[in-house]
Amino acid sequence: MASREKELSKLTQTSDPPGGQLAQVAERVTYPFRHGEPPKPQTPTGFYTDTTVCIGCKACEVACKQWNQLPSDGFEWSGNSYDNTTELSASTWRHVKFIEQFADLPSGNGVSLNTTPGESILNRWLMMSDHCKHCLAAPCNQACPTGAIIHNEFENVYIQADICNGCSCCVAACPFGVITRSDMGGHSHKCTLCYDRQRDGLEPACAKACPTQSIHFGPIDEIRENARKRVEELHRRGVPQAYLYGDAASETYSEMHSFYLLVDRPSVYGLPDEPFNPWLHMMGDYARSIVGGLAAIVALFIALFLLRP
């Protein structure tokens, strides 16, 4: 993406500001302060990823890279099953994870067979296409000091690349490790839920490419209903472990507009077992900060007042 951006930036655009260095500097300084009209709210949309039908083909990764013109990350054997993508990053917005759960593996190596005593051990692959969770109360959005991160008209978490200044607050805030800062350009990037495609009435590239319908896209209420029906169906078909992750708010975290159907503990998939929104602590932290400072000021004032001649 970055190399393509560089190529495009050299072309003269009809929207280019008037020439002259002073005009360009003035434009650069004033541009971020001009706020346009926000678009009309649309039906909230999101992803529901059914991991039970994922076959690990990585078509979603490829489609995402292709549509969003994201550069290759190079290639290295990670040694972790077929996962050589290794993680989400500023240039990788989809990441297919592979978990091998086989009885002949040595125990205590992070494998959870999620079985009760007497239950037969499953020899199985778990695969999951990971991406931004598009949280309703997104810590990255709360942290962003520039207003670059917004909830767009589809209630998806979106980074305005022309506003982000690379402060990395969103990186520190995300409990899922989704956002990173790009080495090229220095700005944060992540899944946009194909905002451009959605505006044109198209579904995101990954959902379009998924050959097994593991990735469902649509109005959030609709896909949530479908996901719950799917869980019930799986329970009837002898998969009692199936459950939804992130479809509803918990005491410590909001609902997510990208949620998952899982059949093992979240941590097995590299997700936090109990996601926690750091902002739940913020008011208390401010209070302690103020108390700490005021105590020192009062102590200093009293000492000076008592000791003055």
| Nearest distance, CB of residue 165 and another protein, angstroms | 4
Give me the least distance between CB of 278 and another protein, in Å please: 5
Strand pairing report for 45-50 and 258-262: parallel
Nearer to another protein, 179 or 209 (CB): 179
Closest approach, Cβ 178 to another protein, in A, equals: 8
- Closest to another protein by CB, 82 vs 195, is 82
In the bound complex, what is the minimum distance in angstroms from residue 40's beta carbon to another protein? 21
Residue 226: Cβ-neighbour burial (10 angstroms; 0-12, 13-18, 19+)? middle
- Dihedral sign (CA 113, 114, 118, 122): negative
Comparing CB distances to another protein, the nearer of 20 and 186 is 186
Output phi, psi for 294, to 5 deg.
Answer: -65, -40
SS3 for 36-61 is: CCCCCCCCCEEEEEEHHHCCCCCHHH
* Closest CB 277 distance from another protein, rounded Å: 8
Quick one: tokens of 134?
């598009």
Q: Which is nearer to another protein, 183 or 221 (CB)?
A: 183
Kindly tell me which of 191 and 223 has the beta carbon lying closer to another protein. 191
Q: Is the dihedral of CA 291, 295, 301, 306 positive or negative?
A: positive
Output phi, psi for 215, to 5 deg: -100, 115
